[in-house]
Structure 1
């Protein structure tokens, strides 16, 4: 792979990876502040960080290919309206599975997903902000 192509690929993937890492760090910090053991907080961080990074990379790729237009917020918000609740659902299920050794969906699943969808708009704003700053600086 040429250095130019590697640089472009890295610039395309970095915002998604950054947003997943930042999301994981916030989840970890909130869990620790909430009084859970550090090992539990680490599970929470990884269980959220990995899906956020994967969805973030997907969003970055779609924006780079023109599927989600740059400069238009609504398509990115719609993407995260679906992706963020799914990432949180993965986090919740994986955390229960690792810490409690049982597969279980969150209680009141529809309410859980609806609340996460509301939060997704703020997450989409942050994602666009991070991505546009990284692309402009590169």
Structure 2
């Protein structure tokens, strides 16, 4: 469950929203191209599970900038099929930071490429930026 869901959007611009206390992730971005999210304020209690600020998949050329994110899970969760993702000037924390993955579950092959994190601060997060992967089994 998300507060907002953007699917198959091109040339999307979202700014100056205050979102708080979603029961799940706050914003889902799926199959979008050329999207920009800026001047956003997203909040949930630090102890709240599964409250990603942004949950993004199969999207490219997505920019997150000049925003404050304080949630119980990932500030940005970047999943398979994403490319050219740019996070600039974010204040992230508490939460888990910016996460790529989990990738490779059940030996699947997923691609995430060209992710840039610039001038972001992480305060009270368990991680800064990280890549999460599953163990690959080489045995049948």
Q: TM-score, normalised by structure 2?
A: 0.20
Compare CA radii of gyration and give the structure with the larger one. Answer: 1
Q: TM-score, normalised by structure 1?
A: 0.20
Whichever structure has more helix as a proportion of its residues is 1
Whichever structure has more strand as a proportion of its residues is 2
